[in-house]
């Protein structure tokens, strides 16, 4: 039941979700940031967790409440493993910015445990496990971020019951600029942001969102930035959240003026994501400037669609 | 301003819309039936319309109220043409069955006028013109059927204001079985069926429909019948309409038992459409039998995705 390997290291990319009309449905893995999870066997019983890396300090929960601990305890219970697993999480994805930070840790941890404990769980089962970590961290059982971080590329969550996730080839030639202010975190606000989503939607709004999502997927499938740009940032949930995202209007306007095809809130924000092609550097600069002008300290990165969670070979980079 | 041709003949295929979660957003051209529209110049002013063909008798409106007349009058007004246009419509698409009958006439007529009068209107403008015919016939200004009949393949209506339509390559190897009872027509019921759609939708229903639509498009793009089948027939609008569609449950069950991947109401019904692959003949037979067992006289055809409206060359088939 246990792999011949005494330790397994997995890295998983950050992700953006929604892109506007794809609320709780669409995820896209990005190579802007990544988490690394190392799992290893130790003498004794249970799970021990250590967190390090540039954003370790941002995890306010004690390690016991961390997504990776929750996942490991659940996996151990479910497979009846009676030993002890040590987890080391290298937190490379900024926390609470809307970049699927807990989703990346969760996806990396789920895949690492699958290998270490020789669980033989399939993708759906691993997403379900990772969703438990996401739930522990965010209070919401959505699958868009964990699916993207696990499978890579563009992922569509077709249904939650039963869980149905499809991976589409990511548009390789597109670039995404991710930008957020360090001062703001949605970590404590995810629930507020989810609460801001309207409870009731009119048929017209519903059809409008269906149309935007159709255009968005068609654009992503065909790698057509103009089409994607027309749909990005639309949708009833995005609209309801805008007032809760600091700097939204000015940063968005700056990005569009600099040549971005579209801008949307990344996940639950506060990060914004802009779609670009060859003008990525100009868009990044414009977004940075717009944040500074509003008194924020911005973090801005140009990202490509990323592959999903993957094993770091022995002898590779240390966590 | 007028083409060198004295008459132009255009054929346009029927279409199915919605496929469940794609309400008012998704159209698919099918080669099951087609309309032919011939437009020609005559002495005098205005528009004269004649209707013939197998389903001419089902058009209860006088020719003046017909979709093609409405379109021609609008086009003549808009381009300032002062002559007379004669229209001959060969009605080959059954009327009021949910197969985009008025959409096919409208698409064919719009394209024929564009050529005859040398209007130089683009696709969007032609769809908008054809939508006026659809509106005259059905009381609803939706673009899914006319887009599919005009452009062919799979069409996605991303937005209505401004009108944004995307054509995706149709899944060539899929087969669709179209079936309906002759006794039932939705011609008088389109408004009732539209009224049956819920006015307010919960966020959960909204997300569920977004997910189904995402899966549906991913399946169609990848020509993956299992994926399409999972999403087809889902959605809040489809669900609300089922009680208004005679024979739905038994015909659907028969199709699925015979190997169909999914079944949905075609447009506003009463036609049902089943997705099949190699088992099209068996599915068609099963649907036929199920209608007969319920006391209906069924019409059943196996269809492929079709190209859009196209000119019939001079010397080709007479209308």
More reliable by pLDDT, A76 or B134: A76
pLDDT mean across residues, chain A: 91
Bridging pattern class, strands A200-202 and B200-202: antiparallel
Overall fold of domain B7-168+305-311: Ribosomal Protein S5; domain 2 (3.30.230)
Q: Mean pLDDT over residues A232-261, rounded? A: 95
Instruction: Kindly report, residue by residue over A182-239, the tens digit of the pLDDT.
Output: 988 766 566 677 777 888 899 999 999 999 999 999 999 888 999 999 999 999 999 9
Name the closest residue on chain B to residue A144, using Cα atoms: B211
Q: What are the structural domain ranges in chain A?
A: 7-168+306-311, 175-303
More reliable by pLDDT, B59 or B264: B264
Q: Return the pLDDT at B54.
A: 84
| DSSP bridge pairs for A301 | A178
Q: Mean pLDDT over residues A144-171, rounded? A: 93
**pLDDT over 60 (residue B209):** yes
**pLDDT over 70 (residue B187):** no
**pLDDT over 60 (residue B319):** no
Q: Return the pLDDT at B221.
A: 87
The pair of three-digit structure tokens given for residue B244, joined into one six-digit string? 């208004």
- Is the bond leading into A162 cis (omega within 30 degrees of zero)? yes
- pLDDT over 70 for what percent of chain B? 93
Please give, rounded to a whole number of angstroms, the shortest distance from the CA of A274 to a CA of chain B. 20
Q: Return the pLDDT at A222.
A: 86
Catalytic, out of B88, B190, B238, B276: B190
Name the closest residue on chain A to residue B208, using Cα atoms: A159
Instruction: Please identify every residue of A annotated as catalytic.
Output: 134, 190
Q: Which single residue is written with the structure tokens 């306010």?
A: A60
**Which residues in chain A touch residue B230, judged by CB atoms under 8 angstroms apart?**
158-159, 164
B26, B197, B215 ranked by CB distance to A203: nearest: B197
Instruction: Kindly report, residue by residue over B88-109, the tens digit of the pLDDT.
Output: 999 999 998 999 999 999 999 9
Spell out which chain B residues touch chain A, with contact meaning CB-CB distance below 8 angstroms: 21-26, 156-160, 164, 166, 168, 197-203, 206-215, 217-219, 221-222, 227, 230-231, 236-237
Q: Give the pLDDT band (50/70/90) at residue B188.
A: low
Q: Does domain B175-303 have CATH number 3.30.70.890?
A: yes
- Dihedral-angle region of residue A236 (phi above 0 means left; psi in -120 to 50 means alpha; beta otherwise): alpha
Bridging pattern class, strands B175-181 and B298-303: antiparallel
CA distance B149 to B12: 6
**pLDDT over 60 (residue B1):** no
**pLDDT over 90 (residue A118):** yes
Catalytic, out of B11, B38, B134, B238: B134
> Is residue B93 helix, strand or coil?
coil
Would you call A206 and B209 a contact, using CB atoms and an 8 Å cutoff?
yes
More reliable by pLDDT, A248 or A65: A248
Q: Give the pLDDT band (50/70/90) at residue B222.
A: confident
CA distance B210 to A285: 34
Range scoring the smallest mean pLDDT among A37-46, A284-293, B131-140, B208-217 = B131-140
Q: Return the pLDDT at B7.
A: 92
Q: Which residues are CB-neighbours of B162 under 8 A, at least 6 positions away?
A: none
User: What is the separation, in whole angstroms, between the first and last Cα of chain A?
Assistant: 25
Q: Are domains A7-168+306-311 and A175-303 of this chain identical in fold? A: no
Q: Return the pLDDT at A6.
A: 83
| DSSP bridge pairs for A181 | A298
Instruction: Kindly report, residue by residue over B135-171, the tens digit of the pLDDT.
Output: 888 777 789 999 999 999 999 999 988 999 999 987 7
Q: Mean pLDDT over residues B166-186, rounded? A: 89
Overall fold of domain A7-168+306-311: Ribosomal Protein S5; domain 2 (3.30.230)
More reliable by pLDDT, B219 or B192: B219
Instruction: Kindly report, residue by residue over A20-68, the tens digit of the pLDDT.
Output: 999 999 999 999 999 999 999 998 999 999 998 888 877 766 666 688 9
Q: Return the pLDDT at B218.
A: 92
The pair of three-digit structure tokens given for residue A53, joined into one six-digit string? 């890396």
The pair of three-digit structure tokens given for residue B210, joined into one six-digit string? 């977004």
**pLDDT over 60 (residue B183):** yes
- Is the bond leading into B270 cis (omega within 30 degrees of zero)? yes
Q: Return the pLDDT at B2.
A: 58
Q: Give the residue among B154, B272, B173 at the shortest CA–CA distance from B213.
A: B154
ipTM score of complex: 0.91
Instruction: Kindly report, residue by residue over B309-318, the tens digit of the pLDDT.
Output: 999 987 765 5
Q: Mean pLDDT over residues A283-292, rounded? A: 98
- pLDDT over 90 for what percent of chain B? 74
Q: Give the pLDDT band (50/70/90) at residue A256.
A: very high
- Is the bond leading into A270 cis (omega within 30 degrees of zero)? yes
Name the closest residue on chain A to residue B165, using Cα atoms: A215
Rg of chain B's alpha carbons, rounded to an integer?
Answer: 19
A71-91 residues labelled b (16+ CB within 10 A) or e (exposed): bbbbbbeebebeeebbbbbbb
Task: Reply yes or no on whether B190 is catalytic.
Answer: yes
Spell out which chain A residues touch chain B, with contact meaning CB-CB distance below 8 angstroms: 21-26, 156-160, 164, 166, 168, 197-203, 206-215, 217-219, 221-222, 227, 230-231, 236-237
B158, B209, B227 ranked by CB distance to A166: nearest: B227
Q: Give the residue among B87, B141, B137, B149 at the shortest CA–CA distance from B117.
A: B87
CA distance A6 to A11: 17
């Amino acid at each position: 039941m246990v792999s011949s390997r005494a330790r397994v290291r997995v890295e998983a990319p950050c992700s953006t979700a929604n892109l506007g009309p794809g609320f709780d449905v669409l995820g896209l893995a990005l190579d802007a940031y990544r988490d690394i999870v190392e799992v290893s066997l130790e003498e004794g019983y249970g799970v021990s967790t250590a967190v390090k890396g540039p954003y370790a300090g941002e995890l306010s929960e004690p390690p016991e409440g961390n997504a990776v601990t929750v996942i490991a305890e659940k996996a151990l219970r479910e497979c009846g493993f009676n030993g002890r697993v040590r987890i080391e999480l290298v937190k490379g994805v900024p926390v609470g910015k809307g970049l699927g930070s807990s989703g990346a840790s969760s996806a990396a941890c789920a895949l690492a445990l699958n290998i270490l404990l020789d669980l033989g769980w399939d993708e759906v089962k691993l997403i379900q496990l990772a969703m438990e970590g996401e739930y522990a961290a965010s209070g919401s059982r959505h699958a868009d971020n964990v699916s993207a971080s696990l499978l890579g590329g563009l992922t569509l969550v077709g249904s939650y019951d039963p869980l149905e996730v499809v991976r589409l080839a990511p548009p390789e030639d597109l670039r995404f600029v991710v930008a957020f202010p360090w001062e703001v975190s949605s970590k404590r606000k995810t629930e507020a942001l989810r609460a801001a989503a309207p409870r009731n939607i009119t048929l017209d709004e519903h059809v409008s969102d269906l149309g935007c999502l159709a255009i968005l997927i068609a654009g992503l499938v065909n790698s057509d930035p103009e089409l994607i740009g027309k749909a990005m940032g639309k949708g009833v949930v995005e609209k309801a959240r805008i007032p809760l995202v600091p700097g939204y209007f000015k940063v968005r306007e700056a990005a569009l003026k600099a040549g971005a095809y579209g801008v949307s809130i990344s996940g639950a924000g506060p990060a914004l994501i802009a779609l670009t092609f060859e003008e990525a550097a100009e868009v990044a600069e414009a977004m940075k400037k717009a944040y500074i002008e509003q008194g924020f300290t911005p973090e801005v990165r140009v990202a490509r669609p990323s592959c999903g969670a993957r094993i770091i070979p022995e002898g590779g980079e240390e966590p």
